[in-house]
Amino acid sequence: WYRNDYSTYFTTTSVVINNIFSTGVYYVIISIEEWPEIEVQSNSINTSYYELISPVLFGVTNYELHCIGEDITIDLSDEGYNYYWYAHEGYTYNDTDLVEGITTSYSFTFEDAIRITVVGEFQGCQTSSTLVLNSYADQSIYVSPSNFNQQYLCTDSVANLYLSDFTASNYTDFQWLNKNGSIWEEITGATTNIYAAADSGYYKLRATSIDCPSVIIESNEYHVKHYSERSLNLYVDQTEMCLGDSATLNIYSTSWTAIQWHKGDIQMGSSGYELFYVPISGAGNLASQKVYEFNTYIVKAKHNSCPNGLKISSNPKQVKPSLNPEVIFDLDVESYELALWDSAIFYLSCQGADVNLSVEDIYDTYQWYDQIYAGLDDYAIPGDPISGANSASLNVNVNAQWLTAEVSLDGCIGYTDPILLDSWFFADPVVASYNNNIICDDDSALVNLAFQGPWIEYYWLHIYNGVIDTVPNSNNDSIWVTEPGEYIIFAYPEQCPTALSTSGQGPYMDYLEAIILEATDVDGTEFFYASPWQGFFDYQWFIDGEPYENPAEVPYVILKEGLPAGEITVEITSLPDGCTDLSDAVIWDPSVGISELYSLDLNIYPNPSQGMISISGIESSEIASLVFYNTQGQKMKELNVIENMQGIDISDFPKGIYVLRIFDIHGNMYAESINKL
């Protein structure tokens, strides 16, 4: 295709003309497939563009402000076209915005900001004009302090907030508001376009438009800040330097006084190790300060607008070594720790593991330093030189230590970021039993790790009557047990699979054995109680074999007061296992007290005990066995040969309450409780 004898580069069978710049004389040259060397030129067509006159609108001014409820009429200069009126909010419009029945005049009641677009159409061509009508209700007013130094309140100072007189001339009925939490409250008496704010907080102004009294406008929210929120900006002429060089810190302002310079110091804080700032010894009080250490620096000062206020702390600035090579090692970085000018790489490994550290081999000299880790607050660059460590690489064994390389190049000396090589610490595994440490007859009970850990391999030990056995096929974090005794786990962590950890002790599993004891409360109340009583159990009391409806609030206790005479037993059921055991009988007669079963004048002392007890009131030759139980009914110790009633050792018992059952050679049983401290 050609236009005005110039190629259009269109090679299709048709071409579209869509604007005035596309008009002109068109023709097309074609060739046929059989004779591509033969070209045929078509006839020419002269195209033109018909430009409509855009609608001219009268009655209102573009972007004029209007009140809600105002009657508006818009007319247009009629050119004889077909006209279509659209009322729309956005920049574009569609058929749903068409106002039906309007030709050359449109009257309506103003409700909100709106755009009126008139489209003129003639012989398939269109033109349009848009009129923007704004609302007084959408206007905004802006308040600010008359002096921007006042935006930070000092002692006895105020911030004079105001709406300019020029803007205020368009409004009346002023009212200042203050934000209380999330609620805006009117400030009593603050009814002009100026307000002196004496407290920090958020303020805004409400006013009524003079031209549109139904419209109430609210200003921007202005934040009057406390003096302590003022920024003190610190700058440094170079953030990197060679060892022995200096950097200059500046605040570039004459508005500050009582200047004091500080450097970083890592100390133990309320949430662990933190970066604190301590004064630089010998530093002056000028607005600039030279520093010679690789560190982080701040400055504290008072602003001249508040000479009686507290000092403001600046932003921190770091000064690092110009030569600051990266330490390379083929280990995963665990985390990053605080350092004086940057962050230190923190690596965890197994104790004694071999680690190779290196830096790029491009420097003139190398010297590696180390320092034993004793807390970040005892850390200082670079540490102590390692004898013979003068190359780009270093082989070390992990031993909770800081490592830093000092390098030099063309006379400039610098350091690597410090590396903290620490060893893993594994909390010992803790073993728990499922529910009551009870083994049911012909059944098993679950013993398992109480908390998940990094363990990948396990084995269990079973201890019973001093005999220690390995539990077969126990490479698991839980096992099902069928025999009484203590169960201890040994585990290997994933990170260090040769480092063995153990629970050290474990739950003692035993068969359920119900026991009846008696006691007197501090207020003199006498009662019987069942053991075990700590854990999850059901209790059913019997008198002469018949179920007894226990009135006591505690199910394992029955009060002697009001208790009928008879043979008392209790059946204890472990939950949810379902194990059940019936106690031996206690003969109860309210007129004489407990039967001969408990009639011996036994005395166990000291009680409470810290580990050694003695028994009086019965000879050792009369005793068949002594059996100790914890409050869950688990057997802790059994003595079948008693040569001396003095100094019986229970020091290996954990702190708590225990039951001692004494069986004599005549078949009688006596029970007493012991408090182990």
Please give the structure tokens belonging to residue 676: 């182990």
Distance of alpha carbon 630 from alpha carbon 388, whole angstroms: 62
- pLDDT at 479 exceeding the cut of 50: yes
User: pLDDT, tens digit, for every residue of 437-462?
Assistant: 888 877 788 899 988 888 999 999 99
Distance of alpha carbon 368 from alpha carbon 387, whole angstroms: 8
- pLDDT at 105 exceeding the cut of 80: yes
Q: Which amino acid is at 166?
A: F
pLDDT band at 596 (very low <50, low <70, confident <90, very high): very low
Please give the structure tokens belonging to residue 278: 């301590």
Distance of alpha carbon 384 from alpha carbon 146, whole angstroms: 60
Give the CB-side neighbour count of residue 292, counting CA atoms within 13 A: 6
Distance of alpha carbon 471 from alpha carbon 480, whole angstroms: 10
Percent of the chain with pLDDT over 90: 55
Mean pLDDT of 363-381: 90
User: pLDDT, tens digit, for every residue of 336-367?
Assistant: 788 888 888 888 788 888 889 999 999 999 99
Lowest average pLDDT, out of 137-141, 196-200, 463-467, goes to 463-467
Q: What is the pLDDT of residue 632?
A: 66
Going 65 to 68 to 73 to 75, the CA torsion angle's sign is positive
- Residue 575: enclosing H or E segment and its boundaries? none
3-state secondary structure 401-470: EEEEEEEEECCEEEECCCEEEEECCCCCCCEEECCCCEECCCCCEEEEECCCCCEEEEEEEEEECCEEEE
Q: Contact 320/339 with Cβ under 8 angstroms? A: no
Length of the chain counted residue by residue:
677
| Phi, psi dihedral angles at 537 (to 5 degrees) | -140, 155
Number of C-beta neighbours around residue 448 at 10 A: 16
Distance of alpha carbon 317 from alpha carbon 336, whole angstroms: 19
Residue 543: partners with Cβ closer than 8 Å, 6 or more residues away: 563, 564, 566, 567, 568
Mean pLDDT of 200-210: 96
Q: Which amino acid is at 430?
A: V
Q: What is the pLDDT of residue 592?
A: 60
Q: Contact 320/342 with Cβ under 8 angstroms? A: yes
The whole-chain average pLDDT of the chain stands at 89
Number of C-beta neighbours around residue 479 at 10 A: 21
b vs e for 219-239, b when ≥16 Cβ sit within 10 Å of the residue's Cβ? beebebeebeebebebebeee
User: pLDDT, tens digit, for every residue of 131-170?
Assistant: 999 999 999 999 999 887 778 998 778 899 999 999 999 9
| Phi, psi dihedral angles at 333 (to 5 degrees) | -70, 130
Q: What is the pLDDT of residue 343?
A: 81
User: pLDDT, tens digit, for every residue of 265-298?
Assistant: 999 888 888 999 999 999 989 999 999 999 999 9
pLDDT band at 597 (very low <50, low <70, confident <90, very high): very low
Please give the structure tokens belonging to residue 151: 């935006």
Distance of alpha carbon 291 from alpha carbon 305, whole angstroms: 29
Q: What is the pLDDT of residue 49?
A: 79
Q: What is the pLDDT of residue 599?
A: 44
User: pLDDT, tens digit, for every residue of 295-342?
Assistant: 999 999 999 888 888 899 999 999 999 999 999 887 777 777 888 888
Q: Contact 333/346 with Cβ under 8 angstroms? A: yes
Burial class (CB in 10 A: 0-12, 13-18, 19+), 602: middle
Distance of alpha carbon 626 from alpha carbon 642, whole angstroms: 8
- pLDDT at 122 exceeding the cut of 60: yes
**How many whole angstroms from its chain centre is CA 88?**
47
- pLDDT at 424 exceeding the cut of 50: yes
- Residue 167: enclosing H or E segment and its boundaries? helix 165-168
Lowest average pLDDT, out of 106-110, 194-198, 348-352, 430-434, goes to 348-352
User: pLDDT, tens digit, for every residue of 563-588?
Assistant: 998 899 999 998 887 889 999 888 88
Distance of alpha carbon 277 from alpha carbon 313, whole angstroms: 10
Q: Look at the block and give the residue holding tokens 């508040």.
A: 306
Q: Look at the block and give the residue holding tokens 């009582």.
A: 258
- Residue 503: enclosing H or E segment and its boundaries? none
Distance of alpha carbon 78 from alpha carbon 75, whole angstroms: 9
Please give the structure tokens belonging to residue 493: 């962590």
Mean pLDDT of 228-234: 92
Closest Cα to residue 448, out of 81, 458, 439, 456?
A: 458
User: pLDDT, tens digit, for every residue of 31-68?
Assistant: 988 888 899 999 999 998 778 899 999 999 999 999 99
Number of C-beta neighbours around residue 401 at 10 A: 18
Cis peptide before 418 (omega within 30 of 0): no
Q: Which amino acid is at 388?
A: G
Distance of alpha carbon 86 from alpha carbon 93, whole angstroms: 7
Q: Contact 330/346 with Cβ under 8 angstroms? A: no
Q: Contact 132/62 with Cβ under 8 angstroms? A: yes
Q: Which amino acid is at 620?
A: S
Number of C-beta neighbours around residue 83 at 10 A: 18
Number of C-beta neighbours around residue 533 at 10 A: 20
Residue 71: partners with Cβ closer than 8 Å, 6 or more residues away: 107, 108, 109, 110
- pLDDT at 256 exceeding the cut of 90: yes
DSSP 262: E
- pLDDT at 600 exceeding the cut of 60: no
DSSP 50: P
Phi-psi region of 652 (alpha: psi -120 to 50; beta: other; left: phi over 0): alpha
Distance of alpha carbon 667 from alpha carbon 492, whole angstroms: 50
Please give the structure tokens belonging to residue 532: 């075990």
pLDDT band at 646 (very low <50, low <70, confident <90, very high): confident
| Phi, psi dihedral angles at 396 (to 5 degrees) | -140, 165
Distance of alpha carbon 50 from alpha carbon 439, whole angstroms: 102
